[in-house]
Structure 1
Amino acid sequence: MLPKGFLQGGPLLAGLVFALSMPAFDAVADTSPPGSTGVTVADPAVPRPPGTPCAVQLYSDDTFADFSTHPYTYAPPEGCGTRWSKVVLEADFSVTAGRQFDRTAEIWLDGVNLYYGTTQEPSATVSPSWHVERDLTDYSALLRQAGNGQVILGNVVNDTYTGVLHGSARLLFYPATAAAPAPRVPDAVLPLGSDPVGDATLLDDGNSKLSRSLDLPRNVERAYLDVFAQSQNADEFWYTCVPDQYAARVQECGGGNFREAEVSIDGQPAGVAPVYPWIYTGGIDPYLWRPTPGVQALNFMPYRVDLTPFAGVLSDGNPHEVALSVAGAHHYFLASASLLLYLDPHASRVVGGIVKNTLAGQPPTPTIGDTLVTDADGNVSGDITTGLSRHFVIEGYANTSHGRVNTRVEQTVGFDDTQSFTIDAATYRQVTDQTTSVDSVSQSRVGRFVTSELRQSLRYPLHLDYSFQTTDDGNYIQATLLHQGYTNDSDHRLLGRTIYAAKVSNTVDASDTLDFDANFSVIGHSNQQNMQSFAFHDSLGGCYRKDVASVGGVVTTNAEGMGCPNGQNQVWWFSHPDGSPDGGNSLLGW
């Protein structure tokens, strides 16, 4: 028999009953019609429960033309209660036509990140506008109290860079109802950064860290860390770099191409977060991303690290340093992390400890190899390979009001990269094939009963074929062919049985050829094509599918619902079709 109180009043049963009896809702996405030149994406919107939300405007039509921060004050919605079935951030951005770089955009509240992404580059004739959303239900504890926030969107406007950015954002709160009950959410949301209002932290190399010493409640029973790690500066194109010993030979950036975020508690390895190879809308060739940007370029998804094995340690009444670094960082990464804590409502103190940690002693040191050959004429050909695979188990226990809970996090994290080169007097060609993978199982056990289990499998594939050639007339062409993907398969289990499973797939395929004159000035481009496919389905019948395509920067296809029942997109309000972190709270109540 499970200890009394384990299911905490039965939200599991309630969630399943309503999930199976309520209708599904459309996940409305971008609706740019064929012929459009505006930003066009296949990503789903955050699905909503029924009912009218309460709205809180964070800022409205702010202008971003310099590097000043934009503060705002926040107050919870009046007359909307303090428990919500869903909280959604909606943000809208635009940039005037002209010349402008892609810029990093961040929204913060009391040091906690609410949104992280980059902007769309404009053209001389197109002024892009775009809409992003983020599910912030798990941040409800933060949003129950008034606070101070700021928007960071640094921009330069002058005679050369003329595009002016504008933006607005609001929070929508959906009151809990019998049909859409409030999920169990973290009781505390704590930032790691030092800025009390909020800002990303610069990590210049692998030894730099984002850290904070925290005095935590003494009744922590679960803990998670939401992580963003964004490449910048010399590290923007880290996925094409090579180890230093090869850099001059193949005319590439040094520092290697392995990147991984490392999480530690009091200096002890506590988890890892894969780094996604985001490509911004000015990356490689700006025409690749008009009108469809790369995967998540406008709206990064955080990676959630399960720190629950450390719940007993974090509850011991002593201050604890929680830290984040990026292995391989080579000038530099910007990092943000938020600690999410679930507290035992029926105990003033939780006691526990770590019983196993095999991640300790496994440094993130990849294996390097090559088949490079340089011939008598100085031509270079061959591959440089980088690989790393680690399997680890972290186990801990916590004595809670519902018994001794043993938590085990088991992961296999992999990184496999091949850089292939063909370099001669007329051609420079580099082909990047890279896959980052994570296979994980987070399992909680009371006695001999496996009470909850989350299985997750992520894949970040990247294929980039880049060629720069001299033409017969002394000019140059740059041809780029790119495939970028994101898959996230999850399986929630209770007492050994699958309760809910979901699959997310997001791919972008793009190509273009740039023409340069003898002075390396762009004189035109050709053969631009872009296609994004986004698919989601779950074990309760939820289904979303959208495909968008363009040729020459003009939308040619915008199709929804292919392969879904009745050819229509329908997803449940509690689901996460965008691939955002999902602990099962809305459905399972744990």
Structure 2
Amino acid sequence: MPDDAKAEVKDSSRRSKERLRRAAGVGVDYSDRGDTRRRWRVLISTAEIDLAEKLAYVLDQPLPTSLDVDATVDQLLALQKHKDDSILASCIILAAMTPELQKQHEHLDTYDIVYHLHELFDKQARSEKFEMNNLELTIPKMINMLNTVESSVKGEQKTVILVDSSKKSSKRKQKISSTHFLTLAYPYRYDAHRYHRAPRASPPQRYLGPTGADFLLPRRSPSCSLTLLRHDFADTYGRPPASAPYAPPPGCPPPWDRVVLDLSVACAGEQYDRIAAVWLDGAEILRTSTAEPSEAGVFWRVRKDVTRYDALLRRQEGGVVSMMLENIVNDEFTGVYHVNVSLDFYIEDGEEPRFRPRSMLPTSDEESITQEQTIFGASKPLLPPKIGFSSFKSGSIENNAKVAPFPPKPSDLIIPISSADSQNGFWFRIKNEADVHFKSVQIPGNTYWAVLEIYVSYHSNDEFWYSNPPNSYILKNNLTTGRGNGSFREVFATIDGSFVSSIVPFPVIFTGGINPLFWEPVVALGAFNLPSYNIVLTPFLGLLLDGKSHDIGVGVTDGISFWLIDANLHIWLDPLSTYVTAQLVQYQAPRTSISRKSKLNLLNGKFKIKAQRESRFLGWVSSSFGNLTTDVDQKLKFKSLVNFTDDGAKKGVYMQAKLKTTVRIGEGPNTLLTQVTYKSKYPLMFVSSTLSGVNNTYTMKTYLSHILSEKTTVLIDKVETFSSIRDHQDADGWMLVQDHSVLAGSAGTQQTYHYEDDHSSYLRKVIARDGLVLSDTTTASSSSSSS
């Protein structure tokens, strides 16, 4: 910082009025960039002398880029402080501008505002200097505002905004009230319906869920297509799911090479985001959420590989397809979701190997936009089907009996672990940790492999579970919110009440969450296709194959109301045996180790959680494939930081979950036939700062970084293959909010998706700002050719 600027910042409050006159552009020449920055230092210093010196660095230092996945807590806090200081400085600068200039600069941080102003006025050589002379404020008015600011400084008010109070839409200085604090402390679902950039006459806008590589889906035309359900979800709250009969398509009977579910949705009007699911005979095949529409309308498409549900799809007796989407339509919320669900069936024609991604990768932007597919769960250890996605040919396993427990085909039977009360959807509604739901099942005697697939979503007080403070913080400050119980959650599965596995769910953010302007038109990771999680139950077949019924249960550690969870039990049957024998040899399942540290000072607080669990299950199954032992080893690690500062006006959240699952199949203690290792890591970080305004409004500025990283390695016959994905979103922006409705704002989102395996590499990068896609680029490569 130049010495003369430092001197100005450190001047006494006695000279504040003169500095404000200079800020108005009286008799000062700002012909170079250094003077431009000095001028804004002066303006900042009028808010509070001591604060000015702390903020001055944001004028010279651009905001750091996103941090690495393994960033330290100190680095995260430093980034949070820089962003918070930039928020305050930019608010003060924007407040001194005309509305026209505010619109041009409201989406920029402080450093970029100063840079842009220098470029703008250097180019246009304007004598009025930032149009300050055109403000509706007079110099006496501005001096009067300064007097108000100085008195508030003496009263130790920490948050100050300078705005012309004579304007209709103005904000005034005000301490953070408890109501506004709660909005920051517990991120609500927001409704952006009152603020949309596109006029009503504009055409409907396409929304994107660019998580997933399109080449994992067939690119050729389907052999046949079948419409499952068409329905307009209007005022459907409290009503049963929409249902329709299902039967396999007569034009192309099984076996099918691939089956792809195609969901198309359109909506116009005012509406919140909604959760939805599709079931076939009570077995969930898709969990999704909706975009928040505009008056002009929005539409989107989700394509998902549902080949793993072949056991349900090929049943000649057919079944019932159901979809739940609880929506409310009234005078205020007018949006009706128009939904079409169909299936595309692909018969193997030799063009692409069964259960293997094509080597010919899409490169056109249109293809990458219209064929949206998330591979959440595709690289998780479903374990038989996942092997089919690796690089060896589909017939290689079928010709080797010793590794038959990893067949490259879907399961032979699927048993829904879901609610019998379909009137409220087939999912279980879990209200707290003790609310464990289960279903009694009896599996066939010739079962040789079993996988439990779990669908999860979180709502109401636990929608943002990863940012919840402990209950002590709520009680200490006499807060009325129910969003507590800390920031750790663990979804677990049980057999007859005994623990068998657990996961920390990936934190999907719905389109009304944190800042809805982030998700226009690129939605958050997994929002259109929520992940499912796969648990290998083969070691427990010794318990299940006794001819009796057993309870398969699901629950949430530390959970509060409410969670929607159900599961599918995938069963593989021995075609040459009526009965197989099995035994559980080792059961090692210690409780999750949880460490909690808290520092509490009224509305300020820092809360850290570390959790870990290691479990191991080993059992053998004797079938026509031989006597094979399955060893499942799982390690889970979790850490979290929730930090409140400035009497709750600023909040920083950081969490990271790691999961490593290794499945080994051997013949005897010393012969390893197959090994699959799955690793996942998903850090989430966001920082928010809130400034209150008039008429129960407040301005919130937020930065968010979200990453999904997965890698699967497969070892068969001493040959190792791998696949990996890394999906990364960064978003930043601000919004003016009143009663959960977004009145104004600006936001930008950047997403980078990278998929890689032994033969292919795929990279997609999407940049969006203020509701528009600025760029969408795709690059792909392959080491082999395909027809």
Bucket of the pairwise TM-score, normalised by the shorter protein: 0.7 to 0.9
Residue aligned with 2:649, SS = strand
Q: Out of 21, 24, 40, which is 2:208 matched to?
A: 40
C-alpha displacement at 1:223, in angstroms?
0.7
Is 1:188 the counterpart of 2:410? The answer is: no
CA contact (8 A) 2:593 2:612 kept: no
Is 1:364 the counterpart of 2:534? The answer is: no
Number of the residue aligned with 2:437: 210
Number of the residue aligned with 1:245: 472
Larger strand proportion of the pair: 1
Residue aligned with 2:561, SS = strand
Number of the residue aligned with 1:550: 768
CA contact (8 A) 2:443 2:545 kept: yes
Using the alignment, how far apart are the partners of 2:497 and 2:431 within structure 1? Answer: 19
Q: Which residue identity does 1:140 align to in structure 2?
A: D
Using the alignment, how far apart are the partners of 1:544 and 1:382 within structure 2? Answer: 43
TM-score, normalized by length of structure 2?
A: 0.63
Number of the residue aligned with 1:28: none
Q: Out of 307, 313, 316, which is 2:543 matched to?
A: 313
Number of the residue aligned with 2:243: 71
Using the alignment, how far apart are the partners of 1:242 and 1:572 within structure 2? Answer: 53
Number of the residue aligned with 2:628: 405
Number of the residue aligned with 2:428: 201
CA contact (8 A) 1:95 1:163 kept: yes
Residue aligned with 1:324, SS = strand
The 5 A counterparts of 1:215-294 are: 215-249=442-476, 253-294=483-524
Instruction: Say if 1:205 and 1:496 are closer, same or farther in 2 by CA, change over 3 A.
Output: farther
For each residue in 1:263-290, what CA deviation from the matched residue of structure 2 results, as whole angstroms up to 9, or x when unmatched? 1111221111221211111112221211
Instruction: Say if 1:495 and 1:507 are closer, same or farther in 2 by CA, change over 3 A.
Output: same
Number of the residue aligned with 1:587: none
Higher mean C-alpha displacement, 164-173 vs 80-89: 80-89
Number of residue equivalences: 520
Q: Out of 448, 451, 467, which is 2:689 matched to?
A: 467
Number of the residue aligned with 1:481: 703
C-alpha displacement at 1:196, in angstroms?
7.6
CA contact (8 A) 2:205 2:299 kept: no
Is 1:114 the counterpart of 2:114? The answer is: no
The 5 A counterparts of 1:448-463 are: 448-463=670-685
For each residue in 1:481-535, what CA deviation from the matched residue of structure 2 results, as whole angstroms up to 9, or x when unmatched? 111121110011113431x310011122112212257x89754213x11111111
Number of the residue aligned with 2:781: 565
Using the alignment, how far apart are the partners of 1:416 and 1:327 within structure 2? Answer: 15
Number of the residue aligned with 1:175: 347
CA contact (8 A) 1:142 1:189 kept: yes
CA RMSD of aligned residues (A): 2.5
Number of the residue aligned with 1:103: 274
For each residue in 1:446-502, what CA deviation from the matched residue of structure 2 results, as whole angstroms up to 9, or x when unmatched? 12322221100011211011111246999632111111121110011113431x310
Number of the residue aligned with 2:226: 56
Q: Which residue identity does 1:431 align to in structure 2?
A: G
Higher mean C-alpha displacement, 437-446 vs 75-84: 75-84
Q: Out of 571, 579, 582, which is 1:341 matched to?
A: 571
CA contact (8 A) 1:395 1:407 kept: yes
Is 1:353 the counterpart of 2:583? The answer is: yes
Instruction: Say if 1:571 and 1:331 are closer, same or farther in 2 by CA, change over 3 A.
Output: farther
Residue aligned with 2:575, SS = coil
Instruction: Say if 1:475 and 1:172 are closer, same or farther in 2 by CA, change over 3 A.
Output: closer
Is 1:163 the counterpart of 2:384? The answer is: no
Number of the residue aligned with 2:560: 330
CA contact (8 A) 1:516 1:523 kept: yes
CA contact (8 A) 1:413 1:438 kept: yes
Instruction: Say if 1:82 and 1:383 are closer, same or farther in 2 by CA, change over 3 A.
Output: same
Residue aligned with 1:239, SS = helix
Using the alignment, how far apart are the partners of 1:118 and 1:570 within structure 2? Answer: 37
Number of the residue aligned with 1:18: none
Instruction: Say if 1:40 and 1:571 are closer, same or farther in 2 by CA, change over 3 A.
Output: farther
Unaligned runs of 5+ in 1: 1-34, 574-590
**Identity fraction in percent:** 26
For each residue in 1:15-62, what CA deviation from the matched residue of structure 2 results, as whole angstroms up to 9, or x when unmatched? xxxxxxxxxxxxxxxxxxxx9953133233441175642212101354
C-alpha displacement at 1:149, in angstroms?
1.7
Using the alignment, how far apart are the partners of 2:659 and 2:274 within structure 1? Answer: 29
CA contact (8 A) 2:593 2:613 kept: no
Residue aligned with 1:138, SS = helix
Residue aligned with 1:194, SS = coil
Residue aligned with 1:141, SS = helix
For each residue in 1:90-138, what CA deviation from the matched residue of structure 2 results, as whole angstroms up to 9, or x when unmatched? 1111111x210100111111000111110000124x4111111221111
Number of the residue aligned with 1:3: none
Using the alignment, how far apart are the partners of 1:560 and 1:381 within structure 2? Answer: 44
Residue aligned with 1:331, SS = coil
Q: Which residue identity does 1:204 align to in structure 2?
A: K
Instruction: Say if 1:175 and 1:185 are closer, same or farther in 2 by CA, change over 3 A.
Output: same
Using the alignment, how far apart are the partners of 1:476 and 1:347 within structure 2? Answer: 68
Instruction: Say if 1:320 and 1:508 are closer, same or farther in 2 by CA, change over 3 A.
Output: same
Number of the residue aligned with 1:24: none
Unaligned runs of 5+ in 2: 1-202, 356-407
C-alpha displacement at 1:63, in angstroms?
4.1
Using the alignment, how far apart are the partners of 2:293 and 2:784 within structure 1? Answer: 33
CA contact (8 A) 2:267 2:335 kept: yes
Using the alignment, how far apart are the partners of 1:520 and 1:559 within structure 2? Answer: 34
Number of the residue aligned with 2:405: none
Using the alignment, how far apart are the partners of 1:152 and 1:571 within structure 2? Answer: 42
CA contact (8 A) 2:229 2:321 kept: no
CA contact (8 A) 1:415 1:435 kept: yes
Number of the residue aligned with 1:536: 755
TM-score, normalized by length of structure 1?
A: 0.83
Number of the residue aligned with 1:491: 713
Q: Out of 736, 739, 744, which is 1:524 matched to?
A: 744
